[in-house]
Amino acid sequence: MDSTAERYAKEPVRYPALHVVDLAAEGAAVTEPYRNMVISRVNDSCLRLAVFDEAYRWHYHPTSDELFIVVSGCLAIDLADNRELRLQPWQCVTIPAMARHRTRALGRTVNLCFENLGAETVFLESP
């Protein structure tokens, strides 16, 4: 997984307003072990589509909450206080700004995420 905070914040928006997007097709087209893309912009926020089958690095967003919605698979979200949240398809959770967390796909997982467009990400070595 090659991801930097700068690259994450500058991911281009793939589709403009008034463009119908087939999210299932977007997810099915991903062949890499990790892909996180900005699908569209909504005011100062964005809709991201993530497809992965591994663990993402520990991190936090200083000024942006994240709303995760699992479409397929199972997403584990580890929190710095040793809690684990597990989301099945069509379950969601909001991770507040400043919450140290990491996501882990338990098998191939597709999820949607709403957050501020260009949200700052601070990566951590450990929680």
What integer pLDDT is reported at residue 3 of this predicted model? 57
Tokens 């119908």 correspond to 20
CATH of the domain at 91: 2.60.120.10
Helix (H, G, I), strand (E, B) or coil at 61: coil
103-124 residue pLDDT tens:
999 999 999 999 999 899 999 9
How many Å apart are CA 72 and CA 27, to the nearest integer?
Answer: 10
The token pair at 70 is 């699992």
Mean pLDDT of 73-97: 98
Looking at every residue in the chain, the average pLDDT score rounds to: 93
Query: Rounded to two decimals, what is the model's pTM?
Result: 0.91
Structurally, the chain folds into a number of domains equal to 1
| Segments forming the whole domain that contains residue 78 | 5-123
Percent of the chain with pLDDT over 90: 88
How many Å apart are CA 35 and CA 50, to the nearest integer?
Answer: 6
